[in-house]
Amino acid sequence: MTVTIVGIGLIGGSLALSLKDKSIATKVIGVDDNTLHKEKALLLGLVDEVMELNDSIKVSDLIVLAVPVNALTKLLPQVLDQVTNQVVIDVGSTKEGILEAVKDHPARKRFVATHPMWGTEYSGPDAAVHGAFVNKATVICNKEESDVAAVQMAEEMYRELGMHLMYMNGHDHDVHVAYISHISHITSFALANTVLEKEREENTIFELASGGFESTVRLAKSNPVTWASVFMQNRENVLDVLNEHISQLRKFKACLEKENYEYLEELMVNANKIKRILK
């Protein structure tokens, strides 16, 4: 089948590579507003051809939207305006706003809302990697609102990529990812700003940074445009999680202020329970 990928960055580019590696797509067309991204995607062999969006839709079986979620709410209805039998999927990190934007669209059933749970702190076509999605999860949201055949195409593609499937509604998805993904990025951005504010010696940061610091602050290298868009779309859930996170930080702060080291240890023992889940 012919697949158009709109947004040839980390996710879109890695998906293009995987579709080609697994021979799922006979042709991959790239669409991107960034001229350098289009040139790089061709040079790296991520896509076979670059085209304008309207032209690519006409010759494609599957259109994958891999753009920031703020752009998705505007782009998706425009794409659905032009589809006939094509299937459209997104790979965005939030879902409720996107689903709301097309709930009454005449071609709504040709759209499948998906979220492959994979990513790195890097961005752009250069960040694309082979085998990115193997043994990862993909969430399919509001499955019942899409055509059975459209859902089957999305399911088959993700299974062939080596992913396992989860199903939930858009609201539940956005709550869960706020806790297991979005708060991690905010924490990392905030920690990086804390260090940059208080530790003025860049050489000291570089020389003394150990594995713990690097792994905690790694996500601060993520694309600000992408993540500002995610936080805006999932604002209420992120605020809820952020309030809880601040509450937990205050407990640690109070323990140190009051020299309550017994409770400090209790907090860390409780946190160790995560070992049972993340082995």
Q: pLDDT tens across 146-191, in order?
A: 999 999 999 999 999 999 999 999 999 999 999 999 999 999 999 9
Q: Which of 138, 231, 136, 134 is nearest to 181 (CA)?
A: 231
The residue extents of the domains of the chain are 2-168, 173-276
173-276 is a CATH 1.10.3660.10 domain: yes
- Determine the average pLDDT of the residues in 18-23: 97
- Determine the average pLDDT of the residues in 110-114: 98
Please state, rounded to an integer, the average pLDDT across all residues of the chain. 95
Per-residue pLDDT at 77: 98
Per-residue pLDDT at 216: 83
- pLDDT category at 209 given cuts 50, 70, 90 is low
Q: What are the start-end ranges of the H helices in the chain?
A: 10-21, 35-43, 53-58, 69-80, 96-101, 148-160, 170-177, 183-198, 202-208, 211-217, 224-233, 235-257, 261-271
- pLDDT category at 210 given cuts 50, 70, 90 is low
- pLDDT category at 64 given cuts 50, 70, 90 is very high
**What is the C-alpha separation between 146 and 161, in angstroms, rounded?**
21
- Determine the average pLDDT of the residues in 238-250: 97
User: Residue 98: pLDDT above 80?
Assistant: yes
Q: What is each CA distance from 249 to 4, 10, 159, in whole angstroms?
A: 45, 32, 40
- Determine the average pLDDT of the residues in 54-63: 98
- Determine the average pLDDT of the residues in 17-28: 98
For β-strands 137-141 and 111-116, DSSP reports them as antiparallel
- Determine the average pLDDT of the residues in 244-272: 97
User: Residue 206: pLDDT above 90?
Assistant: no
CATH of segment(s) 2-168: 3.40.50.720
Classify 170 as helix, strand or coil: helix
The string of DSSP codes covering 73-126 is HHHHHHHHTT-SS-EEEE--S--HHHHHHTTT-TTGGGEEEEEE----S--SGG
The lowest-confidence range among 93-97, 160-164, 200-204, 222-226 is 200-204
Q: How many residues does the chain have?
A: 279
User: Residue 62: pLDDT above 70?
Assistant: yes
